[in-house]
Structure 1
Amino acid sequence: MTDTFAAAPALVLDGDALDPIGGGGALVGYARVSTTGQLLDRQLLALREAACQKIFSDKKSGKNVEREELHKCLDYLRPGDTLVVPALDRLGRSLQDLIAIVAGLRKRGIGFRSLHETLDTTTPGGRLVFHVFAALAEFIRELIVDVTNEGLAAARARRQRLGRPPAMNAEQIRQARALLTRPDESVSSIARMLGVSRSTIYKYVPEIGTGRGQLDAGEA
């Protein structure tokens, strides 16, 4: 199966950037609704009126990677064909996903058309719009990376612990050690008192030793 869901490439405007891609082949439609309770009728009608010779459709959320009919549709397309969708949100799960799919079609010499947004990569104007989309997607990706790195750097500067907090803090460990010196206190009772599990007590207070562990084993 063609890898059409790879990450979208960085925007490069070469001399042929606005040359039309696709056209002259078959018009192939793709429709999607998010749930089985929704109807595809309006989307299918729009695709038929756009003269699509073959139509594929999914009844799954855009977040669901396993869109079987979309995969079949992409495999069916040949150079010169044009993929037609009722609207952009019917094809991609996100802007980045949409750009990745259209970029994959471009590499294969396949056009793309969205009826609602009147975008058509088989025309210079449509290609220009998608180059703008690709630039925006790349900008957003880089911005997210920059913000994330800045946040991590700030946390490290504050010596802030990253990741999940520990199951027991220093005060709980101190209390556990103090209570374990009392012969009438068991590991199980101390764990209940501190709101943790017996295994957590053994993890954070390893000096308990196997003797105390064997003594309390029958209580769990």
Structure 2
Amino acid sequence: MRFFGYARVSTSQQSLDIQIEALKSAGVQKNRIFCDKASGRQMKREGLDLLRLKVEEGDVVLVKALDRLGRDTADMLQLIKEFDEMGVGVKFLDEGLDTKGTMGQMVVTILAAVAQAERRRILERTNEGRIEAKAKGIKFGRKRNIDRQKVLALRKQGLGATAIANQLGICRSSVYVIFKEGDDAITHIVD
């Protein structure tokens, strides 16, 4: 029996270090740990695909937590079924669960459904908060730090976008956006 590990984070800014250390502590050799920096909603992941190719009957795949394998219940169950058909077990370290036996598979199924429901609820709360904030007039995105009036004043003086961008130390595309906003404001006043 060989141990393999799988670690995943959702974005390239996140670190895999904690998961990798937990897998190594559980007995997985470093060269048998497969990693992805991708959303758990996608089942097409490079590290996961490589892991599927490497494991053989009798092997065990260790994953730090259930949600690291995937977010969607149906996809996770399909993946666990695929491993099971190959004779490969899956063990989740944080939850202390494995897919060997009927009871283990049932518990994993329930927890996967709970994880998916939790993810959906988080998204709902986030969207509700965003809608409420917008209704209160809160603006999202980066704060504007370019003096728009100065850009438009330089334009009135006859300077072009490149000259304005160079003079103010901003990119030319920002100048064009301000030009367009200024033109739209003038159009609304005239209408």
AA matched with 1:33:
V
Which runs of no fewer than 5 residues in structure 1 stay unpaired? Answer: 1-24, 139-220
Instruction: List structure 1 segments (4+ residues) > 3 angstroms apart after TM superposition.
Output: 132-138
Which structure exhibits the higher relative contact order, with contacts defined as CA atoms closer than 8 Å and separated by 6 or more residues? Answer: 1
Aligned residues with identical type, % of pairs: 41
Summarize the alignment of residues 1-220 of structure 1 with structure 2, pairs less than 5 Å apart: 25-53=1-29, 54-122=32-100, 124=101, 127-134=102-109
Q: Distance in 1 between matches of 2:15 and 2:112?
A: 31
CA RMSD of aligned residues (A): 2.1
**CA positional deviation for 1:91:** 0.6
Q: What TM-score do you get using the length of structure 2 for normalisation?
A: 0.53
CA offsets 1:69-105 (integer angstroms, 9 cap, x no match): 1000111100000011010111123122111111111
Q: What TM-score do you get using the length of structure 1 for normalisation?
A: 0.47
Q: Distance in 2 between matches of 1:32 and 1:132?
A: 22
Give yes or no for contact 2:8–2:16 (8 Å, CA) kept in 1: yes
Kindly name which structure, 1 or 2, has the bigger radius of gyration based on alpha carbons: 1
Which runs of no fewer than 5 residues in structure 2 stay unpaired? Answer: 114-191
Q: Distance in 1 between matches of 2:112 and 2:27?
A: 31
Q: Distance in 1 between matches of 2:33 and 2:112?
A: 28
Answer 1 or 2: which has greater helix percent.
Answer: 2
Aligned positions, number: 111
Q: Distance in 1 between matches of 2:76 and 2:52?
A: 13
